[in-house]
Amino acid sequence: MVESKEQLDSWRAAVEQMKEQIGQVIVGQQEVVEQMLWCILAGGHALLEGIPGLGKTMLVKTIADTVDLSFSRIQFTPDLMPADITGTNVIQFGTQGETSYKFQHGPLFGHVVLADEINRATPKTQSALLEAMQEKTVTVGSETYKLPTPFFVLATQNPLEQEGTYPLPEAQLDRFLLKIHVTYPTKNELKEIVIRTTSGQRLQAEKVADGSLLQDIQSGLKEILVSDEVLDFAVQLLMNTHPEESTAPDEVKRYIRYGSGPRGVQAMISVSKVRAFLAGRYHVSKQDVCVVAVPALRHRLFLNFEGQAMGISPDLIVQAIISSMENGR
């Protein structure tokens, strides 16, 4: 490791402070918060899915509050146009009547961008995010503009069964490092939510990190070691998502139309490094890969007709792949 142990410990302490501040506002959802931090520390984008009212928007805003970065929110609606989020050239008139064009930045030009209810916008507008998420640039006309660094898209969506939603294009889904499921709160958590939200106290997380710290952590975590054995395990796990692979379990061959692309294994390794670091280790284990595989792959597996008709969950498919590999099948 290039960094000293003291440096790594200070980074870990900063992340713990972020968790603590998030916990001051958000009740429960520890796994969701953990996975969101995995995404941010790995430098990727996150997609949160859950029914309305589970606090997805509040969670993203609270995480943004813990870092000293610019924050912008885009409320996606069916009539939202690409220029509404990227920005556009506007005409300016000079004192002598001359005209010129000036680029007016859209809400994408923020460090942390909340794409709220992203699947309520049409595919044309959803696709406008592609360049921003992958290249971290925006092209308007013949000009290309760089987005701020660091840059994160933290998107929320309601399940596709809800009315008025559009499935995200496969290419855009692939740009999300993780897809995170926001679950319903327990009875005790629900009680605490009511107490916090119906009292006069206004809760807000304090800023405990800045952009340069996040960039330092992101750069440092690339030094976390991954052995050939663990890398081979992750690659084989990805290969087993494809029904034509001889070692794929029966569930994949029966229900999957096509499996994950290369970004799937890149996501697993990147996030596994973060998980290992937060656990106090400086090398990635197979267990790290197994734990992050579900959120890293669930949105990269596409069911065939039989799988869709039977309501098969991609999570179960990933777990079946892991079980088959652990059992040596």
Residue at token pair 């660094």: 149
- Residue 261 in any domain: the answer is yes
Q: Helices 211-221 and 30-42 meet at what angle, rounded to 10? A: 80
Q: Helices 228-239 and 286-297 meet at what angle, rounded to 10? A: 30
pLDDT for position 1: 45
- Residue 147 in any domain: the answer is yes
CATH number at residue 120: 3.40.50.300
* Chain segment 64-118, per-residue pLDDT in tens: 888 888 888 888 888 888 888 888 877 777 677 677 777 788 888 888 888 888 8
> Collapsing DSSP states into helix, strand and coil, what is residue 209?
strand
Domain stop point among 189, 223, 257: 223
pLDDT for position 294: 94
> Collapsing DSSP states into helix, strand and coil, what is residue 72?
strand
Answer yes or no: is pLDDT of 11 > 90.
no
Q: Among 78, 104, 101, 77, which residue's Cα sits nearest to residue 91? A: 101
pLDDT for position 164: 64
In sequence order, which residues have a C-beta less than 8 Å from that of residue 68 and are 6 or more positions away?
Answer: 207, 209, 210, 211
* Chain segment 12-51, per-residue pLDDT in tens: 888 888 888 888 777 777 888 889 989 989 988 999 888 7
Domain stop point among 203, 223, 243: 223
In sequence order, which residues have a C-beta less than 8 Å from that of residue 322 and are 6 or more positions away?
Answer: 237, 290, 293
Residue 250 and residue 205 in one domain: no
* Residue range of the domain that includes 321: 224-329
Mean of per-residue pLDDT scores for the chain: 85
pLDDT for position 27: 79
Q: Where are the alpha helices (DSSP H) in 87-186?
A: 123-127, 129-135, 170-173
Residue at token pair 């496969």: 170
Answer yes or no: is pLDDT of 281 > 60.
yes
Domain stop point among 172, 197, 223: 223
List, in sequence order, every beta strand (DSSP E) within the chain.
Answer: 45-49, 67-68, 71-75, 87-93, 99-105, 112-116, 137-140, 143-146, 152-157, 176-181, 209-210, 256-258, 302-303
pLDDT for position 160: 64
CATH number at residue 265: 1.10.8.80
Answer yes or no: is pLDDT of 286 > 90.
yes
Residue 39 and residue 157 in one domain: yes
> Collapsing DSSP states into helix, strand and coil, what is residue 153?
strand
- Residue 236 in any domain: the answer is yes
Answer yes or no: is pLDDT of 63 > 80.
yes
Q: Among 175, 184, 183, which residue's Cα sits nearest to residue 264? A: 175
pLDDT for position 290: 93
Q: For a pLDDT cut of 90, what percent of the chain falls above it?
A: 24
Answer yes or no: is pLDDT of 295 > 90.
yes
* Chain segment 139-178, per-residue pLDDT in tens: 877 778 888 888 888 888 877 666 667 777 788 888 899 9
Whether residue 201 contacts residue 282, with contact meaning beta carbons closer than 8 Å, is answered with no
Q: What is the DSSP letter of 283?
A: B
Residue 270 and residue 181 in one domain: no
- Residue 103 in any domain: the answer is no
Residue 21 and residue 152 in one domain: yes
Residue type, 56: K
Answer yes or no: is pLDDT of 3 > 60.
no
Euclidean distance between CA atoms 75 and 78, whole angstroms = 10
> Collapsing DSSP states into helix, strand and coil, what is residue 100?
strand
Q: What is the DSSP letter of 199?
A: S
Residue 262 and residue 312 in one domain: yes
- Residue 151 in any domain: the answer is yes
Euclidean distance between CA atoms 154 and 69, whole angstroms = 14
- Residue 85 in any domain: the answer is no
Number of domains in the chain: 2
Answer yes or no: is pLDDT of 240 > 60.
yes
**pTM for the whole thing?**
0.86
pLDDT-based confidence at 328, cuts 50/70/90? low
Torsion, Cα of 229, 233, 239, 241 (10° steps) = 180
Residue 151 and residue 177 in one domain: yes
Answer yes or no: is pLDDT of 197 > 50.
yes
| Least confident among 114-123, 197-206, 257-266 | 197-206
SS percent in the chain: helix, strand, coil, step 5: 45, 20, 35
- Residue 96 in any domain: the answer is no
Sign of CA dihedral 253, 258, 261, 264: negative
Residue 6 and residue 151 in one domain: yes
Whether residue 112 contacts residue 71, with contact meaning beta carbons closer than 8 Å, is answered with yes
Average pLDDT, integer, range 247-256? 90
Residue 271 and residue 178 in one domain: no
- Residue 101 in any domain: the answer is no
